[in-house]
């Protein structure tokens, strides 16, 4: 009886030990399974990161493509945008008379002689061509199609004929480049002239001319230490009245003012000024297209 009891105890002990081992192995298996699952999930994460990076790259590529398309569209607008630049005056004035507008009985000289630097003695026609060539460079760099009414001083082109060049090309903008001159040495500043809205010759082009002048003046006044005299309406200018396209006359400054005369003769200054005029033109085009 005693032997049977001992044997029973041994069997129970053995069975208990076996169950403990099996249970331990089962727990370890569960832990192993969990660990394996974690490894699998961890291995999946790089895949998720790859997808995110790919999507990010595609997004950047799409944004870049959109920007390129926008730039291409802007370039197409600019390349199809024709600007005629008229360097004011010429080496020899022409005092023959011409009507101030189509069918007008009032006449004016075909081309006046212009002013000259009170200090530098540079004639206005030389300054206006230098400035116009710089302006042409700035505008061409922006992609605009540019034509100048003259490239030399030895020409004879009346104000109505200059406007006719812009009309013939169906220009989107006609820019007339001039400088001011008065008796007083105190007068100074940059200004713009535009055709009037009550003038029978220019009613159709007034609004666009005014918009272009506003854009140019805003750019110049905002970026350069130069007195802005504003925008003035002129109904008596042949170059306006004969124009069928938007037109703005730029007065770069007063050559009869000693300080401005010397500034206008400075290549760095005039390059800066014409660059700002070009930026104003670009702003005008962007807003109107």
Q: Cα separations (Å) of 260 from 15, 165, 194, 264, 269?
A: 112, 31, 23, 6, 10
**pTM for this structure?**
0.74
Tell me what pLDDT residue 228 has: 72
Q: Which residues contact 249 (CB under 8 A, 6 or more apart)?
A: 176, 177, 178, 192, 193, 194, 234, 237, 239, 240
Both tokens of 41, joined, read: 């999930």
Q: Detail the DSSP E strand segments found in 39-125.
A: 82-87, 94-99, 107-111
Domain spanning 81-288: CATH 3.40.630.40: yes
In the chain, where the domains are located: 81-288
Report yes or no: 191 and 231 within 8 Å, Cβ to Cβ. yes
Q: Exposed (0-12), middle (13-18) or buried (19+): which is 109, by Cβ within 10 Å?
A: middle
Say how many CA atoms lie within 13 Å of 272 toward its Cβ: 14
pLDDT digits (tens, 9 = 90+) for 213-272: 999 999 998 888 777 789 999 999 999 999 999 999 999 999 999 999 999 999 999 999
Q: Rounded distance, CA 149 to CA 133, Å?
A: 11
pLDDT digits (tens, 9 = 90+) for 179-208: 999 999 999 999 999 999 999 999 999 999
Number of CB atoms found within 10 A of residue 285's CB: 20
């Amino acid at each position: 009886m005693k032997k049977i009891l001992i044997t029973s105890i041994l069997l129970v002990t053995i069975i208990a030990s076996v169950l403990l081992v099996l249970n331990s192995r089962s727990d370890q298996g569960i832990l192993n399974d969990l660990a394996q699952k974690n490894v699998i999930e961890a291995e999946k994460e790089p895949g998720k990161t790859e997808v995110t990076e790919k999507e990010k790259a595609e997004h950047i590529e799409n944004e870049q493509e959109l920007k390129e398309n926008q730039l291409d569209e802007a370039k197409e607008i600019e390349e199809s945008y024709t600007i005629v630049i008229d360097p004011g005056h010429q080496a020899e004035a022409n005092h023959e008379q011409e009507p101030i507008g189509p069918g007008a009985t009032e006449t004016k000289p075909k081309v006046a002689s212009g002013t000259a630097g009170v200090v530098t003695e540079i004639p206005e026609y030389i300054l206006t061509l230098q400035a116009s060539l710089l302006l042409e460079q700035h505008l061409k760099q922006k992609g605009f199609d540019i034509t100048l009414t003259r490239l030399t001083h030895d020409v004879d082109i009346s104000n109505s004929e200059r406007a006719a060049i812009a009309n013939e090309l169906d220009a989107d903008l006609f820019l007339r480049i001039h400088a001011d001159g008065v008796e007083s040495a105190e007068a100074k500043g940059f200004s713009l002239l535009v055709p009037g809205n009550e003038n029978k010759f220019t009613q159709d082009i007034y609004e666009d001319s005014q918009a272009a002048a506003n854009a140019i003046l805003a750019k110049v006044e905002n970026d350069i230490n130069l007195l802005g005299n504003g925008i003035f309406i002129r109904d008596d200018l042949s170059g306006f009245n004969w124009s069928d396209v938007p037109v703005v006359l730029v007065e770069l400054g007063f050559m009869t003012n000693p300080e401005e005369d010397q500034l206008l003769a400075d290549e760095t200054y005039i390059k800066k000024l014409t660059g700002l005029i070009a930026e104003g033109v670009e702003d005008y085009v962007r807003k109107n297209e």
